[in-house]
Structure 1
Amino acid sequence: MKLKKYSIFAVLLLLIFSILSACNSESTGKEEEKGEDGEAKTANFNEEGFPIVNDKIKLTFVAPSDAAPDWNDILVYNKYEEMTNMDIEWEMISKDGLKEKTNLMLAGGDYPDAFHSVGLSTQDLITYGGQGVLIPLNDLIDKYAPNLKKILDENPDIKRGITMPDGNIYSFPRIFDPEFSSVMAGWKLWINEDFLKALDMEEPTTLDEFYEYLKAAKNDDPNGNGKADEIGLSASGDSNIINLFKGSFGLGNRGTAHPYVDMDPEKDELRFIPIDDGYKETLQYLNKLYSEGLIIEDLYTVKSEQTNARGTDGLFAATLTTSPESGYGREEYIGAQTLEGPHGDKLYSNYRAPLVHTGAFAITDKNQYPEETVRWLDYFYGDEGSKLYFMGVEGETYVENEDGSVEYSDLINNNPDGLSYVEAISKYMTWRGVTYPGIVKEEYFKGSEGLESSKAAAEKFVNDRPEEIWPPFNYTNEESEIMSSVGTDIEDYVTESQAKFITGKTSFDEWDKYVETVKKVGLDQYMEIYQNAYDRYLEQAQ
């Protein structure tokens, strides 16, 4: 009798254990088995090749809606779902208010499996990584991301840039191939070659020659229409102008990731650029151009789309843009040479770091498939993945030539539905207008920087680029709070003041007062934090 009772009890225990095991299996969504090393592995997961999983799994990613408003039915990701067996449900959020909505998700606990292209800040990564909301990726990258790992091994600065002060990597970055000079430079200075010929002038090689060219173009009617309608230098805002011209005064020797700080070559210490004498000379030169009407008058109010519209008439003597060919539809512009300054400086300072954005993709602790997700994303850091992401599907959106080069098909270049080039790209691909994770390579990127004219322009200054380019530095939470307050106050004051100096609203007689004000706002604290971040950057190299 007792034996029977024990048998019933044993059966009940076995039944309960089986139910619990089944529930546990459903909750994890994975069927596990033991591998040769004794560690549990997922039977459904393939560590190499496609598909990534044998039986389809579903994940939710948040992404910004912009040029391509809905990624749930778009060629690139439909094709990739077929390849991977991973169904991504895209939760699209308008770029207006994206930052606020993302932060509300993270802080409130109602967040997805991953964030794609939302542009998480370093402070977001440190805060939510430290809380365990965003998972550390160090080991996952080492094991399941061979494409990204190869890039990081070959470019240790990029790895240092995405490693937070606690030693963890919480995100996948957006990277520019360091060998792709045109995209590394971004906005370039272009000269109207037709104007040069009409004026019988050579390409400017110095700041003085550039000034003389602009003056002649403005006053001597090089387009020959009998009207004084030529415009000197065109740009939208002063950030790119300053980034470009300060190199002619020896400033910006560590690239544009640090527009306010570089290395003083004489003292071998960090230098705050906006109070340097060379910066004053930079602003004085730009003030000279502006005061003589040689820079577009509404520099600080014109929008880039307005500049593009004006550029179609070919009235700019010079312009700062990615490409006049793609932006204005004009082919008479040539890339300018690096302009030598009054002290012999010839530095192309408007040069970016390969690490463009750190927080392009992050995985949350709600994700039940982190290994699969890492494999899913790593594909876009390799050649085939880059080709898919930027070119789409062979035979539909692009064709491959006999030499292995690729180009868009008529579906993009001459869309049968009358879509423009930009509209057609956005219908089938998602790379336009977002801070996507992946690597931009010359072979597969057909944006403005990938045009032959842009690549030819970059060849003119490639030897004048900074010898060392810093990636963005990362700050601790405490440092980030100070940089968000004191640092923002300093940078806002600098931005406001430089505009007034350039336009002549503030006299250069006020320069010493301006410098003292920068120091009083908290420059010592600002530079101390910068030094701490720089020291950590150096330590990671050891």
Structure 2
Amino acid sequence: MEKFTKRMINLAVVSVLLITTVTACGGSSDKNASKDNSGNSSTNVTETNKSNETTFSDISADIRGNAAPSAEQIEQVNTTLNDTYLGDIFDTVIPNDYSAYPFKESVTLDVWLPANSDIPDQNAHGIQKMVEKMTGIKVNFITPPLGQEADSFTLMISSGDLPDIIIDPGRYPGGLEAGVNDGAYLDLTDLMEQHAPNYSAWRNSDETRRKTTVTDDGRLLGFYGIAPYSEWTWFGMLIKQEALDKTGMEVPNTIDEWYAFLKKCQEVGYKNPLNYGSNYGQIFTGILNGAYGVWDWTFMDGNGKVQWGPAQPKAKEYLTMMQQWNKEGLLNPDWATADFSQRMASAVSNDTAVMMDSPDTMWSYWKTQNDIDFVGALNPVLNAGDKSATTYKNFMRTGTAAAITTQADNVEAAMAWLDFAFSKKGWEVYNYGEYGKVHLIDENGKPYFHKESYIYNDPDGQPISVALNKYRRHSWANIRDEHNSNPNIVAEGSYSGDIREYWTENMDTSVAVPPITFTQEEASREAELGNQLSTLRGEYFAKIIKGELSVDSYDKFLNEAKKMGLDEFLSIHQAALDRYNSR
């Protein structure tokens, strides 16, 4: 990858910032002072805040518990940095260093981000207007047409004409780290502590947050979405309550119980009871195949070693079962090709009894829009008494990421704009949107969506599934407060969160691989091998399940996978895991 034309200019800008950083740090003799700060704790967050404290008049009495704020109060909350009314609701205090705002000079940042069908014009998004007022930093969002994100990103990178900031920088071939090594993105290691004090304090306040936001060699390359907690499992087996009532059966647990339940569902009228998957991947989620230890991709065995799910001993048993289920019509016949709209149409029909999906999504499509109640079931097990398991585990890394490019005209402004999302005020704005129209503050200083909120009463008549993106940021490089600010979870009467919490607390996640990273050399080879193995797996498993190939053809699949470089693929992942464990 060729280096970018403005590289030297921006290196000069970075040098100026580095000089500023060293001066501000008082010329510390600690050679690691500007490197990853692994020793910080939640106490350090408070100390950081105190050293950069901005004084505001306390407006808690006016805002907390106020269900009908005045126009003046709404204006004060939505346009100023005053956060005195916000409580500390997490184990770690959210930092609130506002010393960079309003920014010292007029600046407009160009920010590339993928399209979102719920937000036709990102520059008109209410969140953006609020952040601009509070930080004094203007932003021009560059958004490709929906469905053309991949081509747009490739064209942008190949042209060498980059914006100031890229949201979802992992699209770069080889990932974020490769983008830094190739000169597309900036290495922010020596700038982060000085110019992103909130992000630095937040990521260092917990060992998991620290470990998942630093590279194996201790570099800080971007801003990651980081949660206050490990978010609940978001995807699993969901059963219509009416199907349980009609069959008179309890929620199944073992594979045999699931088979009996689905057959009974057919008997009572559900033509294809299990909506099994679509072109976005449910055929390999670990929900059914996990019962056999045939996980969809990589997982950790009992010795902490990386293994490949499709190559596990019970794969033939799994494929035999799935081939039978498919032959008997227990699965939706379009499982290999159905898109989201087709799946949701099937979900609300009388043909479907069970969905493999998110309870947040189905709360909207089943309960809110069609008054269909449902329950969650744990991932199936092979034998009674086995512990249900999943390869999904949230390591406090969530949402999306952002990187500053080497063509950023004002690196300090770019960092300040991104850093705001990790302040207490930024937490409120990005998660809960506009005060008054979208959220209010309860007696304890916690934001909440009130009954008249635009989230639940969109003037354009949009459902919650659209409003959650329209009036707040659902996936961003910020402190994402999913459990309290996802309207599908916190809506009155919603049990979506209850299901997700139940899954999380009752499924073993020891097989989950943490967010490892690869070296530049590894990334290229891992991507090559991974694509080949994924294609091979998809073709063989799908054809076997459909009955187009015999189950015994799995032997040929496994031999081809080994010839393709499966052992090398696993060695790359193991090396990356070993480095992660040593961070």
| TM-score relative to the length of structure 1 | 0.80
Instruction: Select 1:398's aligned residue among 422, 439, 448.
Output: 439
Q: Deviations over 1:449-491 (max 9, x none)?
A: 5563221112333232313643232222222222232331122
Is 1:484 matched up with 2:484?
no
Paired residue for 1:505? 548
In the TM superposition, residue 212 of structure 1 has moved relative to its aligned partner by 0.9
1:206 aligned residue: 254
For 1:287, the equivalent position in structure 2 comes to 323
Other-structure match for 2:186:
135
Aligned to 1:502, what secondary structure does the other structure show? helix
Which stretches in structure 1 are left out of the alignment for 5+ residues? 1-23, 40-45, 222-227, 253-258
Is 1:517 paired with 2:560? yes
Q: CA deviation at 1:87?
A: 1.0
Question: Structure 1 residues 272, 312: CA separation in 2 closer, same or farther (over 3 Å shift)?
Answer: closer
User: How far 1:155 sits from its partner (Å)?
Assistant: 4.8
In the other structure, the counterpart of 1:248 is: 291
- d(CA) in 2 for partners of 1:314 and 1:456? 26
Matching residue of 2:582? 539
SS in 1 for 2:282: helix
Would you say the 8 A contact 2:108–2:139 is kept in 1?
yes
| Whole-angstrom distance in 2 between the partners of 1:163 and 1:386 | 22
Tell me by how many angstroms 1:509 deviates.
2.0
Alpha-carbon distance in 1 for matches of 2:199, 2:292? 37
1:366 paired with 2:416, answer no
Query: Aligned ranges for residues 30-41 of structure 1 at < 5 Å?
Result: none
Computed over aligned residues only, the root mean square deviation of the Cα atoms, in angstroms, reads 3.2
Closer, same or farther: CA 146–336 of 1 in aligned 2, 3 Å: farther
Letter in 1 for 2:298: V
Q: Taking structure 1 as reference, are residues 114 and 481 closer, same or farther at Cα in structure 2, changes over 3 Å only? A: same
Residue equivalent to 1:191: 239
**Residues in 1 aligned to 2:343 and 2:24: alpha-carbon distance in whole angstroms:** 63
Counterpart of 1:278? 314
Is contact 2:174-2:527 (8 Å) kept? no
2:112 corresponds to 1:62: yes
In the alignment, which of 48, 51, 55 is matched to residue 101 of structure 2?
A: 51
Q: Tell me how far 1:79 sits from its aligned partner.
A: 0.9
Aligned length, in residue pairs: 487
Cα–Cα, structure 1 residues 367 and 115, in superposed 2: closer, same or farther, change >3 Å? same
Report the CA distance shift for 1:356/1:232 in structure 2 as closer, same or farther (over 3 A): farther
Residues 1:425 and 1:392: Cα distance change in structure 2 (over 3 Å): same
Distance 2:24 2:288 in 1: 61
513 and 155 in structure 1: CA distance in 2 versus 1, 3 angstrom threshold? farther
Report the CA distance between 1:399 and its aligned residue: 2.8
Match of 1:135, as an amino acid?
A: L
Q: 2:221 aligned with 1:170, yes or no?
A: yes
Q: Secondary structure at the match of 2:320?
A: helix
CA distance in structure 2 between the aligned counterparts of 1:388 and 1:110, rounded to whole angstroms = 31
Equivalent positions of 1:369-384 (< 5 A) are: 369-384=410-425
Which piece of structure 1 moves more, 418-427 or 198-207? 418-427
User: Are the aligned partners of 2:227 and 2:396 in contact in 1 as well (CA < 8 Å)?
Assistant: yes
- Compared with structure 1, are the counterparts of its residues 289 and 97 closer, same or farther at alpha carbon in structure 2 (3 Å cutoff)? same
Q: Map 1:111-510; keep pairs closer than 5 Å.
A: 111-117=162-168, 119-121=170-172, 123-164=174-215, 167-181=218-232, 185-219=233-267, 221=268, 228-237=269-278, 239-242=281-284, 243-250=286-293, 252=295, 259-265=296-302, 269-313=305-349, 315-323=351-359, 324-328=362-366, 329=369, 330-342=371-383, 344-354=385-395, 360-402=401-443, 404-407=446-449, 409-431=452-474, 436-448=476-488, 452-461=494-503, 462-467=505-510, 469-510=512-553
Deviation per CA, 1:377-422, whole angstroms, max 9, x where unpaired?
A: 2332355423311321110222334453501544332233434444
CA distance in 2: counterparts of 1:472 and 1:178, whole angstroms:
16
Bigger mean CA offset, 162-171 vs 126-135: 162-171
Mapped partners of 1:486, 1:443: distance in 2: 37
CA drift of 1:83 comes to 0.5
Measured after TM superposition, the shift of residue 333 of structure 1 is 0.7
Alpha-carbon distance in 1 for matches of 2:414, 2:581? 31
The offset of 1:358, in angstroms, is 9.2
For the residue of structure 1 that corresponds to 2:513, the secondary structure is coil
After TM superposition, give the deviation of residue 263 of structure 1 in Å: 2.4
Q: Distance in 1 between matches of 2:496 and 2:466?
A: 22
Between stretches 404-413 and 471-480, larger displacement belongs to 404-413
Question: For residues 160 and 358 of structure 1, what CA distance do their matches in structure 2 show?
Answer: 17
Q: Percent identity?
A: 24
Q: Which residue of 1 aligns with 2:149?
A: 98
1:115 is displaced (CA, Å) by: 0.9
Q: Paired residue for 1:43?
A: none
| Contact kept? 2:254, 2:381, Cα under 8 Å | yes
Structure with max Cα Rg: 1
Taking structure 1 as reference, are residues 365 and 299 closer, same or farther at Cα in structure 2, changes over 3 Å only?
A: same
Between the aligned partners of 1:248 and 1:34, the Cα distance in structure 2 is: 55
3-state DSSP of counterpart to 2:574:
helix
Residues 1:74 and 2:115 are matched in the alignment: no
Contact 2:439 2:447 in 1 (8 A): no
SS in 2 for 1:64: coil
Is the contact between residue 127 and residue 471 of structure 2 (CA under 8 Å) also seen in structure 1? yes
Does the 8 A contact of 2:390 with 2:508 survive in 1? yes
Structure with the largest fraction of strand: 1
1: CA distance between counterparts of 2:25 and 2:258? 68
1:138-189 deviation digits (Å, cap 9, x = unpaired)? 23333343443345335545544444455422222234554431xxx22221
Q: Specify whether residues 260 and 453 from structure 1 end up closer, same or farther in structure 2 by C-alpha distance, changes over 3 A only.
A: same
Kindly indicate whether the alpha-carbon contact (under 8 Å) linking 1:177 and 1:439 is maintained by their aligned counterparts in 2: yes
Change in CA separation of 1:36 and 1:215 when aligned onto 2, cut-off 3 Å = closer
Q: Shift of the alpha carbon at 1:51?
A: 2.2
> Could you tell me how far apart the structure 2 residues matched to 1:487 and 1:423 are?
34
**What secondary structure, in the 3-state scheme, does the structure 1 residue paired with 2:323 have?**
helix
Cα distance in 1 for partners of 2:168, 2:523 equals 22
* Structure 1 pair 283–449 and aligned structure 2 pair: CA distance change class (3 A): farther
Q: Is the 8 A contact 2:234 2:358 kept in 1?
A: yes
Letter in 2 for 1:400: I
CA distance in 1, matches of 2:353, 2:25: 68
- Whether the aligned pair in 2 keeps the contact of 1:117 and 1:437 (CA below 8 Å) is no
1:83 matched to which residue of 2? 134
Matched residue, 1:8 = none
**Could you tell me whether the CA contact under 8 Å between 1:346 and 1:464 is conserved in 2?**
yes
Letter in structure 2 aligned against 1:86: I
- Code of the residue aligned with 2:527 in structure 1: it is S
2:159 corresponds in structure 1 to 108
